[in-house]
Amino acid sequence: GQNIDQPTEMTATEGAIVQINCTYQTSGFNGLFWYQQHAGEAPTFLSYNVLDGLEEKGRFSSFLSRSKGYSYLLLKELQMKDSASYLCAVMDSNYQLIWGAGTKLIIKP
């Protein structure tokens, strides 16, 4: 079966760095997405990785290792507004998005 695993909840301090991991097992691979979702709102796109390596976008970076079925989202200089759920999703060989359950990130002052 297809499976996406990510931690349920993480806590970090304002100004610090946090890494949210995602491991996946899917039938085929056409890219991995990270989305941010604030409570009651639709997800917003953060990053897309289809090749191995690190993609940096401001305070957010995303890493992919296809051979290990592993990705992480790195958030630097955390701000209170970064408190949200972070969703990892993989596009399989049929271009269907397989979603993880999301990681709730709590930022403390």
Binding site for other proteins (CB under 8 A): 30-31, 33, 35, 40-45, 48, 50, 87, 91, 95-97, 99-102
Q: How far is the CB of 28 from other proteins (least distance, A)?
A: 13
SS3 category, 82: helix
- How far CA 45 is from CA of 2, 15, 52, 78, 96, in Å, comes to 22, 22, 19, 18, 16
Of 33 and 63, CB closest to other proteins: 33
Are 53 and 62 spatial neighbours (Cβ–Cβ below 8 Å)? no
Q: How far is the CB of 7 from other proteins (least distance, A)?
A: 14
Q: How far is the CB of 97 from other proteins (least distance, A)?
A: 7
